[in-house]
């Protein structure tokens, strides 16, 4: 169970990172 929770945390972190990176790129391109 702990391993699954860690995987979920990593997924959430990667999603957040991708969303932030996408926002930064869109802002820089403007």
Q: Is the model's pTM score more than 0.75?
A: no
Determine the pLDDT at residue 5.
85
Determine the pLDDT at residue 1.
65
Determine the pLDDT at residue 17.
98
Determine the pLDDT at residue 3.
82
Determine the pLDDT at residue 26.
98
Whole-angstrom CA distances from 25 to 9, 13, 16, 29 are: 24, 18, 14, 6
State both tokens at 15: 């999603």
Intervals of the chain under pLDDT 50: none
């Amino acid at each position: 169970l702990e391993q699954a929770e860690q995987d979920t945390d990593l997924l959430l972190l990667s999603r957040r990172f991708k969303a932030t990176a996408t926002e930064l790129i869109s802002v820089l391109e403007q």
